[in-house]
Structure 1
Amino acid sequence: MNFTRRAVLAAPALLLARPAPAQDFPSRPVTMLVPFVAGGPSDIVARVVAARAAGLLGQPVVAENRPGANGAVAAQALARAQPDGHTLLTGSIGVFAINAALRPNLPYDPVRDFAPVTLAVTTPNVLVANPAAMPARDFAGFRGWLAANGARASYSTSGVGSSEHLTMELLKLRLRADAQHIPYQGGAAAATALIAGDVQMTFQNLGTVAPHIAAGRLRALMVTSAARNPTIPEVPTAAECGIEDFVVTSWQAVMAPAATPAPILARLEAACIESLRHPESVQRLSGIGFDVVASSAAEYRRFQVAELARWREVVRAAEIRAE
């Protein structure tokens, strides 16, 4: 093996072993902002990354919950932070894509104001129904029931502009169907309302409803992943149900301030990817319904831009307005 090839293969390790040129990075603890309260998906992912990245970076990585304004409080804080790698944000599809599609006057730009680090995890949404409130036993039955009862039907979500909200609106557009949106404060509350029979259906992240599906309290009709999910292998994908181009995931990603120097970004990218791909991290995250992606920064940026375009079109076509 020649010297050039050895140097190329050693590059990822060097990114972790050496500080960035002309900078002693990190020179103090790294703050990982979380735009929501403790215990939610962004918080879980941030703490998994922080626990392992600290050892790789040689400084503590501290998750700090900064909730408010659907994630805008933390996002603004990141946009205004010094671009030196010591402040990051682990946020959701809402913070990095849907908010911009839904709110034209958003006080930050999710592409211009941030530098991508990695797409950390994804999780599919699952269409679930209350077995007592809706007789459908499969998607074909659901489609027929919705066509006949759509004007009187309702669905719950974790809020206006949530992944579940836009997923249902996209399905309504595809089926040319109707149903009333009833927003709640969080996915757990939306699932509880469905179990109580206050609404007939909802899309929810797999991790939120998997226990209720297993217990028979909810009936799963369709999953929005590209392939069947091993947690609910009997549930068909959208493509299997005849709905093409309907792969939809909720996701969490890590970002840095836009002007962060490339050497620092490269080191952060390597540390976050290695943290996410550690077997214990994969086991922890997959156990609660996440698929670990740990993409490169470039791959994540392409994905984010495509997601922004997709949800802007759904918001426009469905005439969704922010509260």
Structure 2
Amino acid sequence: MHRRTLMRALAAAPLLPTAARAQADWPTRPVSILVPFVAGGPSDIVARAIAARMPVSQPVVAENRPGANGEVAARAVARAPADGYLLFVGSIGVFAINAALRPNLGYDPLRDLTPITLAVTTPNLLVVNPDRVPVQSLAELTEWLRRNPGRTSYSTSGVGSSDHLTMELFKQRTGTDPEHVPYQGGAAAATDLIAGNVQLSFQNLGTVAGHIQGGRLRAVAVTSERRNALLPDVPTAVEQGLADFVVTSWQAVMAPGGMAPALQARVHAAVAEALRHPETVQRLGAIGLEVVANSPEDYRRFQEAEIARWREVVRAANIRAE
């Protein structure tokens, strides 16, 4: 009797801790990081930096799956098992602005995805064409815009982009109203600004830093809390009297919704270690991306606040997704 009882216990034992063992042994096969945009952009760069430095025994591979402003990849992740073998690196648009801008979005970035970490942030820069806009400061620009109603325009990387909503927030805060001219990406928006076809723009630091240093664009303000080391002479918007005007473009890491807390903690630890590696920090910093690598809880609070903030900007500006 004792022997039969022992055999039954031994047979049943592997069934009880299977899920826990799978989490503790993660990963036992390759891990994929889905990127919702084409190769070469910030999300792709961050994903590949993480993949190269994750301290795991299995390969980690970044895969690009662009489409519908990130919705194609986000839907795929939302439907995937939360087993740690599919991660998702996306932008402020995918994880916050889409939810504010598109009421019929095919995924819920809070309900359908598990937070891992806020990976990096980068400020926007308010830049002008120096030959078309004779200003040096934020106050001078605001006054110039007010003196030229209906005769000014700004470029963006697209409707609903971070630079678009940043300008809309600026317009709401300053009572100015330059016309929106959307482009297919930040590079095209900067090119037409340099050509003088538009007068001003908010663009990511990495997109315009070289143009500023080369004199092709003039930076009026940076939207971070403090001045940026790449352009230390450019004052913040807050310094120039625009209170609380702190806006960052950001990339985050998420996973399919419903991930077990123990596995979430293991994944977070591996991703955060990759991001905090000195070579990763240096490589991303060189293109204007500041590593954050905060906790899942801190990132979720930040994400919720960003969705609420941009939902109000979208409502006030009556922006409609194209």
TM-score (norm 1): 0.92
Match of 1:39? 40
Matching of residue 76 in structure 1 with residue 75 in structure 2 = yes
CA deviation digits over 1:148-181, x for unaligned, max 9?
1131110000000000000000000001110110
Summarize the alignment of residues 20-35 of structure 1 with structure 2, pairs less than 5 Å apart: 21-23=20-22, 24-35=25-36
How far apart are residue 84 of structure 1 and its match?
0.6
Rounded Cα–Cα distance in structure 2 between residues aligned with 1:101 and 1:149: 31
How far apart are residue 21 of structure 1 and its match?
2.3
SS in 1 for 2:131: coil
Match of 1:62? 61
Summarize the alignment of residues 190-269 of structure 1 with structure 2, pairs less than 5 Å apart: 190-269=189-268
Over aligned residues, Cα RMSD in angstroms?
Answer: 1.0
Of 211-220 and 148-157, the range deviating more from structure 2: 148-157
Summarize the alignment of residues 78-117 of structure 1 with structure 2, pairs less than 5 Å apart: 78-117=77-116
**What is the letter of the counterpart of residue 40 of structure 1?**
G
**What is the letter of the counterpart of residue 289 of structure 1?**
G
**What is the letter of the counterpart of residue 34 of structure 2?**
L
SS in 1 for 2:237: coil
Rounded Cα–Cα distance in structure 2 between residues aligned with 1:140 and 1:164: 20
**What is the letter of the counterpart of residue 33 of structure 1?**
L
CA deviation digits over 1:234-288, x for unaligned, max 9?
1111111111111100000000111112121111100011100010000000000
Summarize the alignment of residues 39-188 of structure 1 with structure 2, pairs less than 5 Å apart: 39-53=40-54, 56-188=55-187
Of 183-192 and 137-146, the range deviating more from structure 2: 137-146
Rounded Cα–Cα distance in structure 1 between residues aligned with 2:291 and 2:89: 14
SS in 1 for 2:150: helix
How far apart are residue 208 of structure 1 and its match?
0.5
Fraction of identical pairs, as percent: 67
**What is the letter of the counterpart of residue 291 of structure 1?**
E
In structure 2, the gaps of 5 or more residues are: 1-17
Match of 1:286? 285
Pairs aligned (count) = 303
**What is the letter of the counterpart of residue 230 of structure 2?**
T
Match of 1:15? none
SS in 2 for 1:37: coil
Q: Which has the larger radius of gyration?
A: 2
In structure 1, the gaps of 5 or more residues are: 1-18
CA deviation digits over 1:207-256, x for unaligned, max 9?
10000000000000000000111111111111111111111000000001
**What is the letter of the counterpart of residue 321 of structure 1?**
R
SS in 2 for 1:57: coil
CA deviation digits over 1:15-35, x for unaligned, max 9?
xxxx97221421211110000
TM-score (norm 2): 0.93
SS in 1 for 2:170: helix
Match of 1:273? 272
Match of 2:11? none
Q: Which runs of 4+ in 1 moved over 4 A?
A: none
**What is the letter of the counterpart of residue 242 of structure 2?**
I
Rounded Cα–Cα distance in structure 2 between residues aligned with 1:231 and 1:214: 10
SS in 2 for 1:64: strand
SS in 1 for 2:148: helix
How far apart are residue 136 of structure 1 and its match?
1.1
Of 254-263 and 307-316, the range deviating more from structure 2: 254-263
Contact 1:90 1:253 in 2 (8 A): yes
Rounded Cα–Cα distance in structure 1 between residues aligned with 2:220 and 2:32: 41
Rounded Cα–Cα distance in structure 2 between residues aligned with 1:289 and 1:160: 23
How far apart are residue 120 of structure 1 and its match?
0.3
Contact 1:20 1:263 in 2 (8 A): no
SS in 2 for 1:250: strand
Contact 2:138 2:237 in 1 (8 A): no
Rounded Cα–Cα distance in structure 2 between residues aligned with 1:231 and 1:27: 41
Rounded Cα–Cα distance in structure 2 between residues aligned with 1:20 and 1:310: 38
SS in 1 for 2:144: helix
Contact 1:20 1:264 in 2 (8 A): no
